[in-house]
Amino acid sequence: MKVIGVGVGRTGTLSLKAALERLGRGPCFHGRHLLDHPGRLPLWEAAAAGRPVDWTAVLAGYRSTVDWPAAAFWRQLTEAFPEARVVLTVREAEAWYDSVERTIYRMFGDGPADERVSAARRTVPGLDVFTDLHRKVIWDGFFGGRFADRAAAIGRYERHNAAVIRDVDPDRLLVVTPGAGWGPLCDFLGVTVPAEPYPHLNDTERFWAGIGAQRAGST
């Protein structure tokens, strides 16, 4: 494991995944990969239940990780892979909350289920198991069942970021904000800046387009 992304979902994590893979730190695990490895779900469920797990087995085959569910276990991961670099993606809290509420909370949480959500839940194989794990790790676990309370959710988000900055060795940690581009990440990893734009993936429109593509691919 070379890089551990500890930023929560909707902070530019999918863009970071693409960037890390472009820089030779892939494959990079992202929450979407849970559907690709159903055999590892019991390991994630054990972690969600607070039981010890072998993180090398959970993330076997990957050289980096970003987003949920791994971000919820950042302490365990940074201890399990002490040589890995740590990247915290952050964005302005109010905008972050709005983005989560419009996307993953509606799709995998208790947000209002419109036709896009209902159709995906009917047609995408494995989505029920994926959603159940999200509920355990993110909505009931990380947010303590209080994501719908905007102030409580933002407070939890800000405490997470503060804890990472406080407890991770600053020589090991990079904090990345939207629009930072390649420079800070490449300097941090000691690699050359690519001659191409930094990835910009998974805004709200692309999120729902991706859900639609998963539905189409399953029919």
As a dihedral over the C-alpha atoms of residue 86, residue 92, residue 94, residue 97, rounded to 10 degrees, the angle is -30
Evaluate if residue 94 carries a pLDDT over 80. Answer: yes
Q: Which pLDDT score, from 0 to 100, does residue 218 have?
A: 44
Whole-number Å distance between alpha carbons of 44 and 47:
5
Domain 3-217 has CATH 3.40.50.300: yes
Q: What is the pTM of this model?
A: 0.89
Mean pLDDT taken over the chain: 88
Alpha helices in 111-181 (DSSP H): 115-123, 127-134, 150-167
Evaluate if residue 210 carries a pLDDT over 50. Answer: no
Evaluate if residue 35 carries a pLDDT over 60. Answer: yes
Whole-number Å distance between alpha carbons of 73 and 65:
11
Stretch 91-104: mean pLDDT, rounded? 94
Among 48-52, 121-125, 136-140, 169-173, which stretch is predicted with the lowest mean pLDDT? Answer: 121-125
